Structure 1
Amino acid sequence: MSVHDEVGFEKYHGTGNDFLVVDANEYVPDRAAFATRHCDRADGVGADGVLFLALEDRFDPPRVVMTLVQPDGSTAAMCGNGARVAAEWAMERTGAADVMIDTQAGTRHARREGDDVAIEMGEPRFEPEVVPLADEYDEPMLGEDLEGYAVTALNTGVPHAVAFVDDVDAVDVDAVAPPIRSHDAFPEGANVTFASRREDGGFDQRTYERGVEGETASCGTGAVAIAAAARVRDRIAADVVHVSPPGGDLVVSFPEDGAATLTGPVAHEFDGEAAATVDRVEPQP
């Protein structure tokens, strides 16, 4: 693999879900190759994805066009923690306490709440055609047995398969999640999220992310999926749900309109430079 010119990046994370942030005005000829190379934790900078952000500060509130390219080179329509990172990045540049994030899943309003950043996530959807599920499904998947787990399927900007278990720490995520992630029920694949109820009423979370193809320290859309699935399956009735992935604590709230809001911390780790042009390596026959 050969590399050439350099492009600046900033490294952020939201509860351990980490991203390289690149100003979209910077020229990166092959974003997929860039993400695959530099997200690699062994040979690259290491991250769960690259956020290419275009700031449009002529608007009030300012707007950010967000494109998330994942380590496998695919593009994700939405990422809760990524959108919160994008909001923090824009707030730092504009001084605004509110920003609008344009994602492939729609435009989301973000705001600063104390030391945290909150983002509106839209309404979780369970309809088979929205998740999406395979054509044979004409009813929502609410606790169907897939690979030995009772799975609830929904879309929180991206597809999620949620399984409630007694103890998330007892789950071998890297072993059991891939067959669910690629199950025939999910024609576009799905993120696989495991959740266990705590005595305080919150949930512990672990998520295997589609596109990362591994477990991440946090997943914002997964936290929303847990809270929404728990409400639909009568595990909780609360309008505010605390969810704890390995990387920290998130809060999911449900205003009266049914849309979810995700709130949690964002941290700026460091800045650096990386090769903008990365030659693709074709697989050997």
Structure 2
Amino acid sequence: MSVLNSVPFEKYHGTGNEFFVVDAEDPVPDRPAFARTHCDRDAGIVLTGSDRRGADGVLFLALESRYDPPRVVMTLVQPDGSVAAMCGNGARVAAAWAAERANTDEIMIDTPAGTRRATVDGNEVNVEMGIPSFDPRDVPLESDDELVEGEVEGLTVTAVNTGVPHAVAFVDDVDDVDLESVAPSIRHAPLFSEGANVTIASPDGEGGFRQRTFERGIEGETQSCGTGAVAVVAVAKRLGLVSGDDPVSVSPPGGALSVTVPDEGTALLGGPAVREGNGEADIVFRQR
């Protein structure tokens, strides 16, 4: 491994989902190596005054302020070096980062999953998440049929794409599930041709849901997953557990998110995006 120079970064989190943010104008030639090195939870970057190393991914953001509203091109490189098509919490972080620089409260976010509109009010960010799809071609599935409450590796799941694929299971209590043991076999099940995030949910007793997600590309549970929160509500509507167009509270371990999945139109995800600090990160190349 050779160190060429360093690049400035900022660290943000959305309900505990942590990201390093790098301005795309600062060149990082080997983005996968950069993410694998610095996101590592045992040996990655740690901010001064923090005891938590690494992150759940690196957001490479390119602000294009000449547009009205301004646009930000978002590329999320995950800790395993892969690129995620969409990330709800990451999109909210991208919107907060771009809105501050463009001095605006409305941002268009260009992602591999499509363009999403976001509005920013202080630390609170709401972002359009597209229309959830159960179509087996969109998830995608190695099947011609939708997967709705089907058994996969011992868990009853429903498959939906909310920008990325999710296998969603409703359980009595999310705390009773050993997610790190249960999820990997579902995440890698042959039925999911590109793999899947594994999300479990249980009613919170107040009309909302508690959520836990094992994320593809991180290969472990995260404190929050925005696409997973949208998946929970989309599947809950499909199964008749909720109805209507009102926002639903979904609470992963890192905090509460607001999710709206209307009968028609795009889903919405709302919650905080918080800047934690900044620093300098070595640009590294993995010798092959």
Q: TM-score range by the shorter chain?
A: over 0.9
- Cα distance between partner residues in 2 of 1:280 and 1:227: 41
Indicate the SS of the match to 1:89.
helix
| Aligned amino acid, residue 42 of structure 2 | A
Among 166, 172, 176, the alignment partner of 1:166 is: 172
Alignment partner of 1:73 is 2:81:
yes
Q: CA deviation at 1:258?
A: 3.0
Aligned to 1:208: 214
- Cα distance between partner residues in 1 of 2:93 and 2:2: 30
Alignment partner of 1:49 is 2:57:
yes
Aligned to 2:49: none
| Aligned amino acid, residue 272 of structure 1 | G
- Cα distance between partner residues in 2 of 1:109 and 1:153: 25
Alignment partner of 1:271 is 2:278:
yes
Identify which range, 266-275 or 234-243, moves more after superposition. 234-243
| Aligned amino acid, residue 67 of structure 2 | F
Alignment partner of 1:191 is 2:201:
no
User: Residues 269 and 114 from structure 1, CA distance in 2 versus in 1: closer, same or farther, beyond 3 angstroms?
Assistant: closer
- 5+ residue gaps, structure 1, are none
Q: CA RMSD in A?
A: 1.1
Q: CA deviation at 1:58?
A: 0.5
Aligned to 2:128: 120
- Cα distance between partner residues in 2 of 1:188 and 1:63: 29
| Aligned amino acid, residue 215 of structure 1 | E
| Aligned amino acid, residue 52 of structure 1 | F
Q: CA deviation at 1:257?
A: 2.8
Q: CA deviation at 1:114?
A: 5.6
- Cα distance between partner residues in 1 of 2:226 and 2:84: 13
Question: What TM-score does the superposition give when structure 2 sets the normalisation length?
Answer: 0.95
For these two proteins, the number of residue pairs brought into alignment is 279
Cα-to-partner distance string for 1:143-165 (whole Å, 9 max, x where unaligned): 00111111000100000000101
- 5+ residue gaps, structure 2, are 46-53
Q: CA deviation at 1:279?
A: 2.7
- Cα distance between partner residues in 2 of 1:19 and 1:111: 20
Cα-to-partner distance string for 1:116-163 (whole Å, 9 max, x where unaligned): 1000000000000010000xx222100001111110001000000001
Q: CA deviation at 1:238?
A: 3.9
Aligned to 1:253: 260
Identify which range, 142-151 or 119-128, moves more after superposition. 142-151
2:95, 2:109 within 8 Å by CA — same for their partners in 1?
yes
Question: What TM-score does the superposition give when structure 1 sets the normalisation length?
Answer: 0.96
**Which contiguous aligned blocks of 4+ residues in structure 1 show a shift greater than 6 angstroms?**
none
| Aligned amino acid, residue 209 of structure 1 | E
Aligned to 1:98: 106
- Cα distance between partner residues in 2 of 1:249 and 1:79: 16
2:230, 2:261 within 8 Å by CA — same for their partners in 1?
no
Q: CA deviation at 1:24?
A: 0.4
What percentage of aligned pairs have identical amino acids?
63
Indicate the SS of the match to 2:136.
coil
2:157, 2:168 within 8 Å by CA — same for their partners in 1?
yes
| Aligned amino acid, residue 85 of structure 1 | V
